Chain A
């Protein structure tokens, strides 16, 4: 039953760390995107003629900034649904 204890701990730690990864990993992209949008709005207010190119650049920049948050989300999903350690332990217990 020692293995079962380890199994429990892997599950608990994985779920907690998935939550931590998403919550910590979403802080910086949120702040950065907020800054970018605020700056872009100010620019559009100053130069309404350039709204098209400003918003296009804003979209590209947002996507690039957002990808760091997306990485954290992918890590969290992998931890919960496709955890390699969990699968290895399950295979070890099963055999």
Chain B
């Protein structure tokens, strides 16, 4: 039995392999990009809105509201990154009910890549906000002894982020496959419905945790300085 879609290889040429993870990722990307392109072709700002525009505006305003609630900061800077993460994982997990489609999020490669994106994005947002020195200073914030722990925490939370999504999605796939051989008639449908719930919750949690990490990187300095934005900018 295959526990990861990396092992299902459709096409191979030398060391170039085309496995189910790649194909699944491309399908999800295609669905998102084509859907967004089709829905945004008829944008209007007056009177009657198209149904697609209503949907997109509802999604974007929901994301903005959630990010503002979670981070307590202006949501616009992080919206592109966190929103992309959420929509990608959400679409991938929802498409898992399509027969024959294994969600790319049930492969450790995909989740590790997403977690690495968060790992890189946190210092990028932090440096953009506080400058290079200001961001590096917050690693040794209360005292220098804390430095190894903050670095360690940064690494382990990336690992946890990758493993959490992978474990949840993979357990859904494996449990569905096992049940299919055990009780093929009725139970797989229930498990699939349950898998939809888990997929939605995991997409939400991944996005929220990314927001929390980014918010903690962009906030710490502000509280330490204990001053307003304007003053801080003048000092820097």
Contact = CB atoms under 8 A, between A and B. Distances in A.
Given A56-B208, A77-B170, 8 more contacts: A59-B204, A60-B205, A60-B212, A64-B160, A67-B160, A70-B164, A70-B168, A77-B171
A72 to B, nearest CB: 9
A59 B70 CA distance: 12
Nearest to A60: B208
B219 to A, nearest CB: 17
Interface string A39-54: 0000000000000110
Contacts of A63: 164, 201-202, 205, 209
A86 interface: no
25 contacts: A53-B69, A56-B69, A56-B70, A59-B201, A59-B204, A59-B205, A60-B205, A60-B209, A60-B212, A63-B209, A64-B209, A67-B160, A67-B164, A67-B167, A70-B163, A70-B164, A70-B171, A71-B167, A73-B167, A73-B171, A74-B166, A77-B3, A78-B3, A81-B1, A82-B3
Contacts of A74: 163, 166-167, 170
B116 interface: no
Interface string B86-101: 0000000000000000
B174 interface: yes
A3 B205 CA distance: 47
Most chain A CB neighbours (cut-off 10 Å) among B166, B201, B202, B205: B205
Contacts of B171: 70, 73, 77
B26 to A, nearest CB: 25
Contacts of B168: 70
A71 B163 contact: yes
B209 to A, nearest CB: 7
